[in-house]
Amino acid sequence: MSSQAITFHEIRTPAAARVAAAQVWPEEKVLELFNLPFSDLLFRAQQIHRQHFDPQEVELATLLSIKTGGCPEDCGYCPQAARYDTGVTAQKLLELETVLEAARAAKAHGATRFCMGAAWRGPKDRDLDHVEAMVRGVKELGLEACATLGMLEDGQAERLAAAGLDYYNHNLDTAPEFYNDIITTRNYENRLDTLDKVRNAGIKVCCGGIVGMGESRRQRAGLIAQVANLDPYPESVPINHLVQVEGTPLHGLDPLDPLEFVRTIAVARITMPKARVRLSAGRREMGEAVQAMCFQAGANSIFYGDKLLTTGNPDANADMALLNKLGMKIKHTQVDAKLAVTE
């Protein structure tokens, strides 16, 4: 696809989640950040990070697959696509008590946000009956509730909002001109449509992407520009490092240079200064030193637990050991903070 296909300012509907007409971060400006000397980039990111956050605080979020495998989409990175032989067995939607048991365990280990992911192209209305009950149960535990369920139809975001959902995750994945190299069963406009619905329903947006899928640095800049130019930009920005799974089309790619991943975190922090920038998939492969640099670059949230949907994640003890080494502290829920004050 030619570079002319990239249009940051095209607004087909007036909804707030469209890319802003007045570009705050044109792609060229984002690319200039990527091209800064490494130490200068991290210094700038750290300065901005300290203006808006406690630099020693990290938010813990736990992600549970509430419906695994059997997805009809063809995302080249995803082991849950039905068309790929990856060893993932399709499973039905989990029972409510199973989900709440996992949420209780997540909170006991320090998580403040509980995210529920389902391998759907989009949920059917009957599916939402069950998801709404899960959201209400998670909220009753004093946790923030997040869901990633695929593309939403009219009225579905409003149902989730009424149940108390705090965040909806819907990643843009990569730059517009690279998108069709990764996914052909949906398009960029589909992603923006769902983000519109989420914003219009009053739900906070969790939106980021995946790096290490064979994209260029310019295309990484294009991804960050797309996310940063959403109006408003997302409250939560997960940056995933591709976890290569045998059986998926992207298995066997040359791995991304770890310092390039750190650069991506820093650029996300600079362009979206008030967002929670989350280290997501791929942390287990990074090692402690790279993760430490990511925190230095402005990351202040991690997915916490032994699994992210179907791929491995550092275990809780390893995460706590690393945070202790770095002198970092865990962000507490508002409920926990109130209890600490009264005690």
> pLDDT (tens digit, 9 = 90+) per residue, 224-248?
999 999 999 999 999 999 998 888 9
What pLDDT, on the 0 to 100 scale, is given for residue 250?
87
In CATH, what number is assigned to the domain containing residue 43? 3.20.20.70
Closest of 195, 258, 270, 249 to residue 17, by C-alpha: 195
Q: How many CB atoms lie within 10 A of CB 333?
A: 17
Number of domains in the chain: 1
Q: Is 294 annotated as a binding residue?
A: no
Q: Give catalytic residues, as residue numbers.
A: 71, 75, 78, 115, 146, 206, 278
Residue 166 has pLDDT above 90, yes or no: yes
Q: Which two tokens stand for residue 171?
A: 């990643």
Q: Is there a domain that residue 175 lies in?
A: yes
- Report the chain's C-alpha Rg in angstroms: 19
For residues 53 and 251, the answer to whether their CB atoms sit within 8 Å is no
State yes or no: 78 annotated in a binding site.
Answer: yes
In a domain, 135, yes or no: yes
- pTM, two decimal places: 0.87
pLDDT band at residue 337 under the 50/70/90 scheme: very low
In a domain, 334, yes or no: no
- Distance between start and end Cα atoms, the chain: 60
State residue 281's pLDDT score: 84
Output the CA torsion sign for 17, 152, 227, 162.
positive
4 or 252: whose pLDDT is higher?
A: 252
pLDDT of 333 above 70: no
pLDDT for 159 equals 97
The rounded distance, in Å, linking the Cα atoms of 98 and 94 is 6
Look at residue 206 in the predicted model and tell me its pLDDT.
Answer: 97
Query: What DSSP string runs through 14-36?
Result: --TTSBPSS-SS-HHHHHHHHTS
Q: Which of 20-24, 93-97, 117-121 shows the highest mean pLDDT?
A: 93-97
Mean local confidence (pLDDT), 182-190: 91
342: pLDDT confidence band, cut at 50, 70 and 90?
very low
Domain membership of residue 192 (yes or no) is yes
Does any domain span residue 332? no
Which helix (H) or strand (E) segment holds residue 63: the answer is: strand 57-67
Residue with more model confidence, 20 or 87: 87
Q: How confident is the model at residue 78 (pLDDT cuts 50, 70, 90)?
A: confident
Q: What is the mean pLDDT of residues 17-34?
A: 80
User: Which residue range forms the structural domain that includes residue 122?
Assistant: 27-325
CA–CA dist 136, 159 (Å, integer): 12
Residue-wise pLDDT for 289-304, tens only, equals 999 999 999 999 998 7
278 annotated ligand-binding residue: yes
- For the chain, the average pLDDT equals 87
Maximum Cα–Cα distance for the chain, whole Å? 61
Q: 314 pLDDT band (50/70/90 cuts)?
A: low
- Amino acid symbol at 320: M
Any domain includes 14: no
More confident residue, 215 or 76: 215
Name the residue with higher pLDDT: 316 or 9: 316
Examine residue 16 and state whether it is found in any structural domain, yes or no: no
Residue 75 among known ligand-binding residues: yes
8 A C-beta contact, residue 163 and residue 135: yes
Task: Indicate whether 5 belongs to any domain.
Answer: no
Kindly state the percentage of the chain with pLDDT values over 70. Answer: 87
Q: Which tens digits make up the pLDDT trace of 104-157?
A: 998 988 889 999 999 888 999 999 999 999 999 999 999 999 999 999 999 999
